Structure 1
Amino acid sequence: MSTETYRRAAETGDVDLALTAFAPDAVLHSPLTSRVVFTGHAQLRPLLEVAFSHLTELTFHTDAGDDRTRVVVYTARIGGEAIEEAAVLRLNAAGLIEDATLFVRTLPALVALMDRFGPDIARRNGRPLAARVLGVLAKPLLAMVRSGDRHAVPLAAPRT
């Protein structure tokens, strides 16, 4: 099954193996925005290279569903943040991933993902100016989210 191949590839950082789990015209929906979609192996390769270069300690803990729709969930670290990502994977008749929609938690991890992935993907797509702009724009947001998570969120938590 392609989810087993995808899991093994992600855990070992093997981009070529990961691509064998995807249909040639597969579509991947970004967890950051509905305006970004990656289509086909040519667009998925740089995304997977960036992902595998920044995610550490990646371990899958859930793989559920049927032969047409699977949900896989993993934990990892990105830029010092713990991250958990769920992917809803729709499989074609051959069992290859034809559509993947990603969901990330926590908010600090999502912003860390944006901070790390955005500039690298822009660079790999031949957009060095966009890479610099994305790198600059993400830093204050990351600082605000981390500060809020550390100092503001505990103010709303139940008292123990």
Structure 2
Amino acid sequence: MRAFREAVEAGDLDAVEALLAENVVFTSPVVFKPYPGRAITAAILRAVSQVFEDFRYDRELTGGENGRDHALVFTARVGGRELSGCDFIHVDEDGLIDELTVMVRPLSGAQALAAAMGARFDAITKEAEARAAAAS
């Protein structure tokens, strides 16, 4: 999805958040349980933007029914570990992201990502709670 890619590449996390549907479901590459909702998804994306170093998208693929499925292939580093991954995005009928699934490899990169995000997860949760309260 071009708008998401451009917002991420520009570091415009407010624009990224504006592209998320209220009922978006984020599926992490390192946690089994999906995270439902805009507030937690935005907080996770804000944190990961601080964790990833030298992040760049390399390819963009679009397909699926009505062109609503997208894959953005990326590379980055986390704590000195190289990783590659893919953001799988589905958009709803309004053009907002309602599913965001991230996958990364190799295992050493996924482990570095899990450790870095795990260390921030209390702050991520607090930010999400504050955002959800402000939105209601």
Q: How far does the alpha carbon of each residue in 1:10-56 deviate from its partner, in whole angstroms, 9 at most, with x for none?
A: 22322111112211211111111322x22222111220111111112
Cα distance in 2 for partners of 1:105, 1:65 equals 21
Cα distance in 1 for partners of 2:93, 2:40 equals 22
Q: Which residue of 1 aligns with 2:122?
A: 122
The structure with higher relative contact order (CA 8 Å, sep 6+) is 2
What TM-score do you get using the length of structure 2 for normalisation? 0.83
1:33-52 residue pairs with structure 2 within 5 A? 33-35=31-33, 37-52=34-49
Cα distance in 1 for partners of 2:42, 2:90 equals 19
Larger Rg: 1
For the aligned residue pairs, the C-alpha RMSD in angstroms reads 1.4
Q: Which residue of 1 aligns with 2:70?
A: 70
Report sequence identity in percent: 24
Q: Which residue of 1 aligns with 2:99?
A: 99
Cα distance in 1 for partners of 2:30, 2:68 equals 25
- Asked if the contact 1:62/1:74 (under 8 Å) is kept, the reply is yes
The structure richer in helix per residue is: 1
The structure richer in strand per residue is: 2
Query: Which amino acid in 1 is paired with 2:82?
Result: A
Unmatched tracts of structure 1, length 5 or more? 127-160
Q: How many residue pairs get matched?
A: 123
Query: Which amino acid in 2 is paired with 1:53?
Result: Q
What TM-score do you get using the length of structure 1 for normalisation? 0.71
Runs of 4 or more off by more than 6 Å in structure 1?
none
Q: 2:80 aligned with 1:83, yes or no?
A: no
- Asked if the contact 1:74/1:84 (under 8 Å) is kept, the reply is yes
Equivalent residue in structure 2 for 1:61, among 45, 58, 61: 58
